[in-house]
């Protein structure tokens, strides 16, 4: 009986030793700075993002209802809480990449405070954009019975809300947090929009599963996408080690009033001209004139 316990303990100790010693700093953040500094917390970042969403759509989301007369208090409380969380999480993210110990860092705390304030100031603009998106979703889907339904449960609204919030943080050069936010939406909706993508008003994605929109994409006003659409990179310039070079323009520019149907793939730094429609499952790697309709070859009967 005792043997059994000892045998188990010895297996445990062997595995612990192996896992502790083999991990390098790609797999354990603790190997970078030999002190315990908190990493950004995904749960906290998502909580703060949801608070901001609740403040942008007052009454739709969030833990509880409030009275119409208490709306400013509710918004103020949610934003105050969100900004406190964001400031702390930004600090963690900045300090993850800086060489100082957090409690002796001369720059990260001030940076986090300032960027949080800039982020808050951007929210009215984000709200105005989202109102156009809700309108576009209601108009764009014959199955939508009212705008409220799209706010309640349309994955496209979920994804664009999170992306627009993340995009503001991306513009403020906050590391890690933007991607955490959009990947949360990706997980919940299957819609993967990089925080870097620049997206105009009245944007609507229907169904959405499998949509991918790359970092350097730009999208004009009144654009509608369906499930499975990729706005991706065709190829990446490689460095001398054969690895992709980071940060260069490599995704499409989609102009106003474009519709891209389900499963279409648009790759590279191509321009899709104003008012064009790209058909289902089309594979496109060249510029398209304004007003074009690009369709797939029809299926053949076997």
Task: Give residues 65-94 in contact with a second copy (rule: CB under 8 A).
Answer: 65-77, 79-81, 83-84
**CB-wise, 131 or 200, nearer to a second copy?**
131
**CB-wise, 171 or 262, nearer to a second copy?**
262
Enter the DSSP assignment of 29. G
Ramachandran region, residue 59 (left: φ > 0; alpha: ψ -120 to 50; beta: rest): left
Contact 184, 48 (CB under 8 A): no
Contact 185, 165 (CB under 8 A): no
φ, ψ (nearest 5 deg) of residue 273 = -65, 155
Residue window 230-249: x/- pattern of binding to a second copy, with contact defined by CB under 8 A: x-xx--x------xxxxxx-
Query: Quick check: 55 binds a second copy (CB under 8 A)?
Result: yes
Among 90, 123, 160, 165, binds a second copy (CB under 8 A): 123
Closest CA to 134 of 123, 144, 119, 121: 144
Query: Quick check: 201 binds a second copy (CB under 8 A)?
Result: no
Query: Quick check: 142 binds a second copy (CB under 8 A)?
Result: yes
In a 13 Å sphere around the CA of 157, the CA atoms on its Cβ side amount to: 26
Q: How many residues bind a second copy (CB under 8 A)?
A: 150
**CB-wise, 213 or 253, nearer to a second copy?**
213
Considering only residues 144-173, where is the footprint of a second copy by CB under 8 A? 144-149, 151-155
Q: What string of DSSP letters covers 194-218?
A: -TT-EE-SS-EEES-TT-EE-TT-E
Compute, in degrees rounded to 10, the torsion defined by CA atoms 138, 144, 148, 154.
-90
> Which token pair is 38?
């908190």
**CB-wise, 140 or 220, nearer to a second copy?**
140
Query: Quick check: 54 binds a second copy (CB under 8 A)?
Result: no
Considering only residues 18-47, where is the footprint of a second copy by CB under 8 A? 18-20, 22-24, 26-30, 33-36, 38-40, 42
Residues near 205 by beta carbon (within 8 Å), at least 6 away in sequence? 155, 156, 159, 160, 191, 211, 224, 225, 226, 229
Q: Which residue has the tokens 């058909």?
A: 279
Query: Quick check: 176 binds a second copy (CB under 8 A)?
Result: yes
Enter the DSSP assignment of 251. S
Cβ 254 to a second copy, closest distance in Å?
Answer: 16
Cβ 17 to a second copy, closest distance in Å?
Answer: 7
Among 115, 164, 167, 194, binds a second copy (CB under 8 A): 194
Query: Quick check: 292 binds a second copy (CB under 8 A)?
Result: yes
Widest Cα–Cα separation across the chain: 79
**CB-wise, 27 or 240, nearer to a second copy?**
27
φ, ψ (nearest 5 deg) of residue 272 = -105, 110
Cβ 200 to a second copy, closest distance in Å?
Answer: 18
**CB-wise, 222 or 255, nearer to a second copy?**
222
Query: Quick check: 106 binds a second copy (CB under 8 A)?
Result: no
Query: Quick check: 179 binds a second copy (CB under 8 A)?
Result: yes
């Amino acid at each position: 009986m005792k043997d059994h316990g000892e045998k188990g303990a010895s297996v445990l100790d062997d595995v612990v030793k192996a896992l502790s010693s083999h991990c390098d700093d790609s797999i354990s953040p603790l190997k970078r700075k030999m002190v315990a500094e908190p990493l950004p917390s995904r749960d906290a970042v998502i909580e703060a993002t949801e608070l901001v969403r609740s403040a942008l759509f007052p009454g739709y989301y969030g833990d509880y209802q409030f009275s119409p007369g208490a709306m400013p208090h509710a918004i103020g409380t949610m934003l105050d809480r969100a900004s406190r969380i964001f400031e702390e999480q930004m600090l963690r993210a900045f300090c993850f990449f800086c060489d100082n110990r957090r409690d002796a860092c001369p720059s990260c705390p001030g940076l986090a405070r300032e960027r949080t304030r800039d982020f808050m100031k951007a929210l009215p603009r984000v709200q105005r954009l989202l109102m156009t998106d809700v309108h576009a979703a209601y108009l764009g889907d014959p199955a939508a019975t009212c705008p409220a339904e799209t706010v309640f449960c349309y994955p496209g609204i979920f994804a664009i809300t999170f992306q627009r919030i993340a995009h503001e943080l991306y513009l403020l050069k906050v590391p890690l947090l933007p991607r955490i936010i959009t990947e949360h939406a990706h997980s919940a909706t299957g819609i993967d929009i990089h925080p870097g993508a620049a997206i105009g008003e009245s944007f609507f994605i229907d169904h959405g599963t499998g949509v991918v929109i790359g970092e350097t994409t730009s999208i004009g006003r009144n654009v509608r996408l369906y499930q499975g659409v990729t706005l991706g990179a065709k190829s990446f310039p490689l460095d001398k080690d054969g690895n992709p070079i980071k940060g260069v323009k490599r995704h499409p520019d989609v102009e106003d009033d474009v519709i891209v149907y389900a499963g279409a793939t648009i790759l590279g730094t191509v321009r899709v001209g104003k008012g064009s429609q790209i058909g289902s499952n089309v594979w496109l790697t060249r510029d398209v004139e304004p007003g074009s309709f690009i369709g797939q070859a029809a299926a053949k009967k076997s």
